[in-house]
Amino acid sequence: MFGLRQKLALGFGVLFLIMVAIGVQSILNLTKLGESIDVILRENYRSVIACQQMKEALERIDSGLLFVLLGDGRSGEEMILKNQGIFEKALQVELNTITLPGEGEKAANLRDLYERYKNSLAAVRDPAASALQRHDAYFLILLPLFGQIKAVSDEILQMNQQNMSDANNEARDSAARARQQMYGLLLIGTIAAAALMAFAGRWILRPIRRLIRSTDEIRRGNLDLVVPAGARDEIGHLSESFNAMTASLREFRRTDQAKLLRVQQATQQAFDSLPDVVAVIDPEGKVEVATASAKNIFGLWPEATIMDLPFPWITDLFRGAFTEGRRITPKDQPLIQQFVQGDERYYRPEAAPILNKERGVTGVILVFQDVTQLRQQDELKRDVIRTVSHQLKTPLTSIRMAIHLLLEERVGGLTEKQAELLVAAREDSDRLSGILNNLLDLSRMESGKGRLEFRAASPQSIAMDALESVRRTAQDQGLNLGAELRGDLPDVWVDPSRISHVFGNLLSNALKHTSPGGRITLSARAEEELVRFSISDTGAGIPAECLTKVFEPFFRVPGRGNEQGAGLGLTIAKEIVEAHGGTIGVESREGQGAVFTFTLRRADRIGNAERPS
């Protein structure tokens, strides 16, 4: 049987032999051409350049002698000495590059002439000689030698140029012969390739196209198709295997359809029992399966296309998870508000890709967690904190007033012990008042009632005001307070009274945790859209496990027993910075200080819509 393997071996074998013949011939021709070019470059080019350099150097030496004869001895000597070195170097190159018959004798003659010329130079350059003696030495000895040296150099130059011309003609003839040979081989290869392509279309391509048409029919579900076997080669065996495969598939389809229907029904029932909104989306954006809440609330019915739904953010979630291959949550809209049967509900949307074994994305799962109860609990907590803070503020004010009056001894004298107790009570009441004010500020910021009055402000002015407010405290604690602020920083778009709280809190924390002799530095630098501020210290630092928690309400670093406050300062600072459209973060290593960094928007990047009219 003349099978597919033999057919391919025959076709590719002929092409391989043609390629080998062309390759061998090309190598031989290139080798000959390279040898010819090598003659031009290696054997003659260096000699030609050396002769030209000797002639130029000899002419300049002669010019230097004329300068000496005319009385400019200094310039002449410089020119002679400089070009003597050039001539001798070029002469040595020529002596080492003897490649042509007769060239060695001429080069040796050139060397002898130059030695005589060089030895005769002293007669002209001798300042003790008379002008007539130097004149006779130049015209009677040096000038004839000058002409002889140039003549010999020209002869060597012409010998090498003629040899280069002959080698060039030989290389051109070789290239022409090689080109004719390659044309012939290419013509033979083209004819052979065309013949093989014609036979390949009959032997291979036509049966393969028949198989492709058959597989397309099978892909569309036509399992009753029978592929004609045709020739008794490998493609014929493949056709028979296809027929056997379709017969097996027909049997599997009958048994698997019932099983698949049962699995789909069980999956749908399991989905319907889930309380959250869950939907599986295929790569084309169609819903495959969804929970009852997904259908009723967001219209995610099976076979529906999410691009047609009135929720563009769902499409953005799907595309983000599908293209990036990772879990996606909305950045600008972390919670989605939706009214269900007249009730206000809140959902936290998320999209996760479905990956196969090769880490390819085959679909996306949408999960919208119902966080209505959590949000209500947060609102209740804020209301309780706000109410308790307001209720405590009035009696606390009365207590502070009473302590103040007692310490002023307006209602009678105090013993030393009584005064100490009242001072301690005053400090605790002041601290409690600060905690209540922080709670009220945090409540207002979280509820959006803390209105900000934005305007353009100088970063240098804001930063220096913040530093001045803590400079006395830093001096009392023996700390170095510094600033690194460029004079060309652009203005920032801020509420100065609110942003001063951020500077004050970060500087106050740095003062608390830096030992005497340490340093606190406030710096700022401009970026494309923002100005980035940094406050660094050389204090105790923050443990790595606490870095992600320092901005949480009521969090305090463990082991810092001397700390005061309720742990709300950084939380309020974070709320204020984010309300300004910036970000805040911290970098630290325990025992090596900390660097708090936050950003504020540049005033020159603010649109007219945000500016007050």
pLDDT for the residue 493: 93
599 confidence band (pLDDT: 50, 70, 90): very high
Query: For 10, how many CA atoms within 13 A lie in the half-sphere containing its CB?
Result: 13
Integer angstrom CA distances of residue 471 from 430, 483, 547, 598: 22, 12, 27, 21
Share of the chain above pLDDT 90, in %: 9
Is the model's pLDDT at 600 over the cut of 90?
yes
Residue 583: band (very low, low, confident or very high) from pLDDT cuts 50, 70, 90:
very high
Poorest-confidence range of 159-163, 359-363, 423-427? Answer: 423-427
pLDDT at 428: 66
Q: In sequence order, what are the residues at sequence separation of 6 or more whose Cβ sits closer than 8 angstroms to the Cβ of residue 76?
A: 64, 65, 66, 67, 68, 125
Q: pLDDT (tens digit, 9 = 90+) per residue, 403-416?
A: 776 777 666 677 77
> Residue 80: which pLDDT band, with cuts at 50, 70 and 90?
confident
Residue pair 127/8 in contact by the 8 Å Cβ criterion = no
Q: Taking 90 as the threshold, does the pLDDT of residue 381 lie above it?
A: no
Q: Which of 178 and 143 is assigned the larger pLDDT? A: 143
**Strand order through the sheet with 343-355:** 287-290, 277-281, 361-370, 343-355, 336-340
For residue 279 the two structure tokens come to 């939907």
List C-alpha distances in Å: 389 to 381, 434, 449: 12, 11, 16
Has residue 519 got a pLDDT over 80? yes
Token pair in block for residue 143: 């000038």
Encode pLDDT of 467-497 as tens digits. Answer: 998 899 899 899 999 999 888 899 999 988 8
Distances 365 to 70, 274, 285, 347, 350 between C-alpha atoms, Å: 100, 14, 11, 15, 8
Helix axes 143-200 and 4-38, enclosed angle (nearest 10): 170
19-23, 307-311, 348-352, 555-559: least confidently modelled range: 555-559
Averaged pLDDT, 299-321: 84
Compute the distance between CA of residue 388 and CA of residue 397 in angstroms, rounded to an integer: 14
DSSP assignment letter at 286: B
Crossing angle of helices 4-38 and 234-272, in 10° steps, is: 100
Lowest mean pLDDT among 233-242, 435-444, 508-517: 435-444
pLDDT of the residue at 169: 76
Pick the more confident residue, 412 or 498.
Answer: 498
**pTM above threshold 0.85:** no
Say how far residue 405 (Cα) sits from the centre of its chain. 66
Contact (Cβ atoms closer than 8 angstroms) between residue 353 and residue 321: yes
Q: How confident is the model at residue 160 (pLDDT cuts 50, 70, 90)?
A: confident
Give the pair of three-digit tokens for residue 205.
């391509």
List phi, psi (to 5°) of 24: -60, -45
Res 450 pLDDT > 60: no
Of 430 and 454, the structure prediction assigns the larger pLDDT to: 454
Q: Which residue has the higher pLDDT, 323 or 407?
A: 323
pLDDT band for position 536 (cuts 50, 70, 90): very high
What one-character DSSP code corresponds to residue 39? I
**Cα 545 to Cα 537: distance, rounded to the nearest angstrom:** 19
Is the pLDDT confidence value at 226 over 70?
Answer: no
For residue 435, which of 470, 392, 398, 467 has the smallest C-alpha distance? 392
Query: What is the per-residue pLDDT for 531?
Result: 93
Taking only the tens place, the pLDDT of each residue in 363-373 is 888 888 777 77
Q: Which positions ≥6 away from 166 have C-beta within 8 Å?
A: none
Residue 325: band (very low, low, confident or very high) from pLDDT cuts 50, 70, 90: confident
Among residues 162, 161, 173, 165, the alpha carbon closest in space to that of 32 is found at 173
**Once rounded to an integer, what is the mean pLDDT over residues 235-246?**
69
3-state secondary structure of 85: helix
Beta bridge partners of 601: 530
- pLDDT tier at 418, thresholds 50, 70, 90: confident
Smallest CA-to-CA distance from 382 within 436, 444, 451 is with 444
Domains of the chain, earliest start first: 10-194 (1.20.120), 274-370 (3.30.450.20), 376-447 (1.10.287.130), 455-610 (3.30.565.10)
Q: For the segment 189-199, what is each residue's pLDDT rounded down to a tens digit?
A: 788 777 777 76
What's the confidence (pLDDT) of residue 191?
81
Contact (Cβ atoms closer than 8 angstroms) between residue 124 and residue 130 = no
> How confident is the model over 242-287, as pLDDT tens digits?
677 777 776 666 666 556 555 556 565 555 656 678 888 888 888 8
Half-sphere exposure of 499 (CA within 13 A, CB side): 31
Element (H, E) at 557: none
As a whole number of angstroms, the distance between CA 69 and CA 133 comes to 11
What's the chain's average pLDDT?
77
Contact 481, 466 (CB under 8 A): no
* pLDDT on residue 185: 73
Residues 6+ apart with CB under 8 A from 519: 479, 480, 481, 482, 537, 538
Report how far residue 318's alpha carbon sits from residue 321's, in angstroms, rounded to the nearest whole number.
5
d(CA 1, CA 234): 10
> What's the CA angle centered on 348, arms 342 and 350, to 5 degrees?
130
Residues 256 and 261: their CA atoms lie apart, in Å, by 8
Specify the DSSP class assigned to residue 515: -
pLDDT for residue 55 is more than 80: yes
- Kindly tell me if the per-residue pLDDT of 157 is higher than 60: yes
For Cα atoms 576, 578, 582, give the angle at the middle one, nearest 5 degrees. 115
